[in-house]
Every structure is written in structure tokens, then in C-alpha cells.
Amino acid sequence: MKKITVKNLILGILYGWGVFFLIGLVIRLSVNYFYLGRVTLDERDVVNTIVLSSIAGISGGCGSWIFYKIDEYKSKKNPPSG
């Protein structure tokens, strides 16, 4: 099993933030286009997308870190038989 480090945690959070930010922008642009008939993007939309993608990135990165630590603890507690 590969050891997870703080560097991997930070990279996972940044990767999650970037992916969710791009998805959020695409969704906001498409919703604006379908409802308003034009593509508009103001500062408020960008700030809201940054906040929401930060929440999603941090929760995804920390969640994966926590599940890894639980799995690591269980593997030390019960070594695999074989």
C-alpha cells in the first residue's frame, strides 16, 4: 500500500478544487445560457463557484485522507492472512 503524505493530501484538495471549479463554471454558464439566452458571468458567480468548489475539494481530500487512515489502522490491527 502506498504511503499517503501531507503533500498528497494538499495535491488532492487542489485537484478536487480545480475539477469542481471548472465543472461549476460550465454548469453556471450553461444555466445562464438556457435561462437568459446569453452567456453571462459576473463576479458574484465566480466567487460563489470558488467557495463551493473549495468546500467540495476540501471535503473530498480530507475524506479520502480519513478513509486511508482508517484502512491503514485496520490493516495494522488485522494483518492479511495468506
pTM over 0.85: no
- Give the burial class of 10: count Cβ atoms within 10 A of its Cβ; 0-12 exposed, 13-18 middle, 19 or more buried: exposed
Encode pLDDT of 57-72 as tens digits.
999 999 988 998 888 8
Return the ∠ at Cα 41 (arms to 39 and 45), rounded to 5°. Answer: 135
Place of cell 445562464: 32
pLDDT at 77: 80
Encode pLDDT of 6-59 as tens digits.
898 899 999 999 999 999 999 999 998 999 888 888 899 999 999 999 999 999
Domain limits, the chain: 12-18+32-77
pLDDT at 80: 65
Give yes or no for residue 82 having a pLDDT over 60.
no
Residue whose C-alpha is closest to residue 58's, from 23, 12, 3, 6: 12
